[in-house]
Amino acid sequence: MADNRLNPEALSARLQQLAQAAAIHQWDLGASCSTDTSVQVDRGEAKLMKGAQRSAITVRVWNDKGLVGITSTSDLSDAGLERALGGAHAASAFGNSEETPAFSPLATAPLVSLDQPLREPQPILTLLESLKEAERQLLDRHGAIGTVPYNGLAQRSSERLYLNSDGARRHQLLTTASIYLYARAEEAGRKPRSSGAVRMAFGTSDLDIAGCIEEAAERTIAHLDYAPIETGSYTCVFSPEAFLDLIGAFSSLFNARSVLDGVSLSQRDSLGQSLAVPFLSIRDNGLHPGNIGASLFDGEGTPTAPLELVEGGILRNFLHSEATARAFGVHPTGHAGMGAKVSVGPDWFEIGPTPGSGGGQQGLDRFIHGGPLVVIDSLSALHAGVKASQGSFSLPFDGWLLAGGVSRSIEAATVAGDIRKLLREIIGFEGEAKVTPDGLCPYVWVEGLSITGEA
C-alpha cells in the first residue's frame, strides 16, 4: 500500500545480487502490481465498495544441470525475493529434463507502440454515484425489471514487468475500467428472466455507460415473453459473444502446448489441413484497438503479434511459447505464460469471412428469414458443458426462436454438438463484425444443431 509501484532497475539489480550470492547464473522474472477500486450497488444503496492493492512476482532459475525451477510470491521485500529465489532453485532439482524452457529469442525484439492512454482514477464515491445512476436508469426502463442483482463499476491501474539475466527488460503501464449490469425481470405468474451487458475502456470517464444500460435493458426485456421450445435439430444463429465464447472454449485446437501434450483435437500434422468451411478465418490479434487491456508482451517477454490461425478454413498456425516453438521449428508467437512448464493461450480473436471467399451464403438476415431459426444470444456453464479434448459440447443458452416472422424468447434449453462438425456446417455470416471484450465477430449461422427444450 505504501508504494505500489515496480522499480525495474532496483528489482533487476537486487535479483542479480541475490542470484550471484546463490551461484545462480540464469534467471528470469515476471512481476505485476495493480491498484483496483470497485463498487456494487443494490437498489440505490452501496452494496460493496472495494479497494485492492496486489503484487506478485514469479522467479525462474536454471540450475547447473540446466533444469528449471519456479516460485511465486506476493512478498516483494528483499526477504521475499530471497526466499522465492531459493524456492525456485530447490524446485529446479525436479525440473523436467525432457523439456526445458529457455529464454525467448524475441525477448529483446522491438515492441509495437499501442495507443493506451493512462487515465487518472476517479474517487470511489464518484464511481458509486455513477453506478447508482446507471442502476436507476436501468430499473426505470421497464416495470418488470425489479433489481440489477449483478452489477459493478471498476477501475484498475496496473504494471507488468519481465526481466532476465541476459538483459531483457519489458515494462508496461496500463489503466482500464469496466462496467457490468445484469438485470432481473419478473412478471406476475411468470418465471424471472435475466440478462445483461458489459463495457470496457481505458478509464471510467471513457466508459459507454449509456450503451451498457441500453443493451442490458434490451436483452432483459427481450427475454420476458418466453416459451418452451420443442426438442429437435435447428439452424442456429450465434451472437458474436456466444460464438467467441464457444471458439474460446475450444482454443486447444490452436494450442501447440495441448498438441504436444496429446490433449488437443489437432495433431502436429494438422497444419495445412482443412478444419472448417472454406470461407472461415480466425485470427488471434491481441493488438487490435478494440482489445482494452492489451498486453505488449507475453510471460516470456515475446512481443504480442497478430497470428493467422485459420484461413479459408485451413489450419495455418498454432499458438506458441518458446518451448513449443522450438519443438515445431518456428518462432514464439507471444502467447506464453510463465512457468516451469509454460502454458499457452489466446489473446483476442478476430472471426469472420476469409477475404475473397464470398463468406458463405449472402444476404443472411435472421429477421426476414422464414424460420424456424434459433438465435443463441449467450451460452452458460462452458466450464462444465464443454469437453475440449473430445470436441463435444452441451450447453445451456439464452436465446430466441424465430418462426413465421415472430421472435419468442426460449425457456430453459441446451444446445449440443461437436465443434469439428459445427465448423464445417457454418452457413455464413450476418452483419458487420462486432467488437466485444473477447474479440471481433459477426453473427454466425450454423446448420443442424441439437436443441433440447421440452420433451
Cis peptide before 372 (omega within 30 of 0): yes
| Residue of the chain from 396, 407, 427, 437 that contacts another protein (CB under 8 A) | 396
Report helix, strand or coil for 169.
Answer: strand
Site for another protein in 196-225 (CB under 8 A): none
Q: Which residues contact 100 (CB under 8 A, 6 or more apart)?
A: 62, 66, 67, 68, 323
Closest distance to another protein from the beta carbon of 78 (Å):
14
Site for another protein in 238-297 (CB under 8 A): 261-263
User: Which of 116, 172, 394, 407: binder of another protein (CB under 8 A)?
Assistant: 394
Pairing of strands 373-379, 232-238: parallel
Among residue numbers 164 through 193, which ones bind another protein (CB under 8 A)?
182, 184, 191-193
Stretch that binds another protein, among 39-47, 324-332, 360-368, 423-431 (CB under 8 A): 39-47
| The residue type at 37 | T
* Residue from 13, 21, 48, 210 binding another protein (CB under 8 A): 48
Q: Please list, residue by residue across 155-184, b when 16 or more beta carbons sit within 10 angstroms of its beta carbon and e when fewer do.
A: bbbbbbbbbbbeebebebebbbbbbbbbbb
Q: Which listed residue (118, 150, 365, 432) binds another protein by CB under 8 A?
A: 150
> Considering the complex, what minimum distance in angstroms separates the CB of residue 58 from another protein?
8
- Cα gap 222→152, rounded to integer Å: 22
Q: Residues near 6 by Cβ (< 8 Å), separated by ≥ 6?
A: 31, 33, 159, 161, 171
Among 151, 122, 133, 148, smallest CA distance to 51 is for 122
Q: For strand 26-42 and strand 45-62, is the pairing parallel, antiparallel, or unpaired? A: antiparallel
Site for another protein in 106-145 (CB under 8 A): 124-125
All three cell numbers of 288: 487490435
Part of the chain binding another protein (CB under 8 A), chosen from 211-219, 368-376, 390-398, 424-432: 390-398
The closest alpha carbon to 196, from 380, 73, 47, 433, belongs to 380
Compute how many residues bind another protein; rule: CB under 8 A: 77
Q: How far is the CB of 405 from another protein (least distance, A)?
A: 27
> Closest approach of Cβ 148 to another protein, in Å?
10
Residues 127/39, Cβ–Cβ less than 8 Å:
yes
**How many helices (H) and strands (E) are present in the chain, helices listed first?**
9, 19
Comparison of 376 and 440: residue with beta carbon closer to another protein:
376
CB of 409 to another protein, least distance (A): 12
Question: Taking the complex as a whole, how short is the minimal distance between the CB of residue 380 and another protein, in angstroms?
Answer: 7
Do 267 and 406 meet the contact criterion of CB atoms below 8 Å apart? no
Q: Which of 17, 20, 51, 355 binds another protein (CB under 8 A)?
A: 51
Among 10, 23, 74, 113, binds another protein (CB under 8 A): 74
Q: Which stretch binds another protein (CB under 8 A): 169-177, 197-205, 245-253, 388-396?
A: 388-396
Binding flag, residue 75, another protein (CB under 8 A): yes
Q: Which of residues 79-108 bind another protein (CB under 8 A)?
A: 83-84, 87-88, 90-91, 94-96, 98-99
CB of 395 to another protein, least distance (A): 7
The packing angle between helices 124-140 and 209-222, to 10°, is 30
Q: Which of 2, 23, 368, 406 binds another protein (CB under 8 A)?
A: 2
Cell triple for 364: 443472411
Q: Which of residues 400-419 bind another protein (CB under 8 A)?
A: 412-414, 416-417
Within 321-360, which residues bind another protein (CB under 8 A)? Answer: 339-341
- Asked if 30 is part of the footprint of another protein (rule: CB under 8 A), the reply reads no
Which of 304, 301, 282, 302 lies closest to 293, judged by CA?
Answer: 304
Q: How far is the CB of 89 from another protein (least distance, A)?
A: 11
| CB nearer to another protein: pick between 278 and 453 | 453
Single residue of 26, 116, 389, 407 touching another protein by CB under 8 A: 389
- 381: left (phi > 0), else alpha (psi -120 to 50), else beta? left
The smaller minimum CB distance to another protein, of residues 89 and 170, is found at 89
Report the C-alpha gap between 331 and 335 in whole angstroms: 11
Dist CA 400 CA 405 (whole Å)? 12
